[in-house]
Amino acid sequence: MARRSRKLTWQSLIILIVLAIVAVLGSRGSFTANPTSTPPHNTHTSAPTGNLSLVTEPSASITPVLDLINGAQHSVDLTMYELEDNQVEMALANAESRDVAVRVLLNGGYYGKPDKTNPNQDAYEYLQAHHVPVHWTPSYFALTHQKTLTVDGNKSLIMTFNLTPQYYSTSRDFGVLDRNVHDVLAIETAFNDDWQGKKGTAPTGDDLLWSPGSETVTVNLINRAKSSIKIYNEEMEDSKVVGALGAAAMRGVNVQVVMTDQSSWHSNFTKLKSDGAHIRTFSGEKPVYIHAKMVLVDNRQAFIGSENFSYTSLVRNRELGLIITDGSILSQLDATFTSDYQRAQSY
């Protein structure tokens, strides 16, 4: 009995060893087949869908920007209209100190004219003092209003927001984290040109919309609408955009606009309303200040970027946005817009 019991024990041991080997091989095979089965830990952006993830402000605050800079392993390239955030400046300096190649382009004034009140002056001096390569933006643009952070040459955060802490808690804004290799390469190509002061045509990648020169594309996007257009913007000045929105409303497209009320835009608000568009506004910073720039057409295509509806922004500035067709992101944009539209006041 003792020998039989021992024999059975050895058999069991062999079976257990075989099962363990099979389990390990199965586990390894599963990991290889699905290397992204564990989602990234990030509670501030939407889950990645394809090459894009959406950041919605003010809920995300500055965390997604800091996470990208602090996680950089090789390079950080930042183009920013306004940088006044000490946390971001320190993160850039820390990245440089750990041998990440950091470059920062800060808007240098209207057509490069010196401006003693430039909000970027303190950041420029801080970065210089901490050995972070920093340049003023080229003078061949009216302004560099672009807001883009590219990390490790494989992802770019395209923002509608500036890095200005006083607005984080109240500003409706968006950022799109773009991992499309063609888009990122195009953004880096344009950055290198602007870094060197080399005026050229910025590549469009697969989805990018650059200024100077985005007025025609914006108008065409509006003209293609068949059923609905939903608009966020900070300005309503450009005559071609206003004309296209009015024409869309008159042909039966449901045009909805949410903006922060300013008297500068009242004449165009009145024109659009007479054409059949629906204008709703917030007052001041409550409950949010509309700083986002969005055109959502038929819930099938959207533009998100830095471009305002002004001639200078669309024709003379350095600006960057992208065209989005990702269904998940479009749904998120629509949900945010619908919520804001319902609580805004009719103009």
What amino acid is encoded at 237 in this protein? Answer: E
pLDDT at position 49, please? Answer: 53
Low-confidence ranges of the chain (pLDDT < 50): 1-44, 47
Whether omega before 165 lies within 30 degrees of 0, making that bond cis, reads: no
**Residue 46: DSSP 8-state:** P
**Total Cβ atoms within 10 A of residue 49:** 14
Q: How far apart are CA 214 and CA 219, in angstroms?
A: 9
Domain architecture of the chain: domains with CATH? 52-206 (3.30.870.10), 210-346 (3.30.870.10)
The backbone torsions φ and ψ at residue 203, rounded to the nearest 5 degrees and listed phi first, read -65, 150
Q: Is 156 left (phi over 0), alpha (psi -120 to 50) or beta?
A: beta
pLDDT tens per residue across span 101-110? 999 999 999 9
The runs of H, that is alpha helices, within 197-256 are 215-223, 239-250
Max CA-CA distance within the chain?
101
pTM across the whole model: 0.85
The runs of H, that is alpha helices, within the chain are 2-33, 63-71, 86-97, 121-129, 181-196, 215-223, 239-250, 266-275, 311, 327-343
Q: How far apart are CA 294 and CA 54, in angstroms?
A: 13
pLDDT at position 40, please? Answer: 32
- Tell me if 279 sits within 8 A of 272, measured CB to CB: yes
